[in-house]
Amino acid sequence: MPDKNGHPSVEEMELGAIFSALGDPLRLKVVLALAADPADARMCGSFELPVAKATRTYHFRVLRESGLIRQVDHGNGRSNTLRLEELRQRFPALVELILTEAKTGAFRPLKLEDLTAKA
C-alpha cells in the first residue's frame, strides 16, 4: 500500500506503471533532469515545462505514484528526488539505462513528423 503521500513501496513498484510514466516526453524530461544530478532535490517549479500548473501537478503525481520520484511537501511547494536506491533494488538495469541517458543527453522526443516521414 502506498504511503500517506502516495509513494509505493519497492515491492509495489510496477514496470508497466514506470514505463507508462516514462512514455510521456515531459515526464521523461523531469526524470532525466533529476538523474543528471541525483543528489539534488528540485522544486516542481524549477522545471521548465510548457504546461499549466494543473497539468504540471498531474505529471508529478504520475511520476510519484509510479515510484520514480519522491516528493516532500514544504508547505508552499514540493521538492522532488529520483528514488534511485529503491529503483535499483527493484529494477537495477532500468536505473542504469536512465542514468546513462541523462549523462549522454541523447534523449530526443519522438515527433509526429518522425512517424510520417517517407524514407
pLDDT at 119: 47
Give dist(CA 58, CA 15) in Å, integer: 20
Query: For residues 80 and 38, is the Cβ–Cβ distance under 8 A?
Result: no
User: Quick one: average pLDDT of 40-52?
Assistant: 90
What predicted TM-score, i.e. pTM, was given to this entire model?
0.82
Q: What are the structural domains of the chain?
A: 10-116 (1.10.10.10)
Task: Output the average pLDDT for the chain.
Answer: 86
Query: From its phi and psi, is residue 6 left (phi > 0), alpha (psi between -120 and 50) or beta?
Result: left
pLDDT of residue 108: 56
User: Where does the chain show beta strands of DSSP type E?
Assistant: 42-43, 69-73, 78-82
Query: What are 49-97's pLDDT values in tens digits?
Result: 899 999 999 999 999 999 999 999 888 889 999 999 999 999 989 888 8
Q: Residue 99: what pLDDT?
A: 84
Residue 97 confidence (pLDDT): 86
- Decide which of 4 and 17 is more confident: 17
Residues 6+ apart with CB under 8 A from 39: none
pLDDT at 23 over 70: yes
% residues pLDDT > 70 (the chain): 85
Q: Radius of gyration of the chain from Cα atoms?
A: 15
Residue 75: the pLDDT is 86
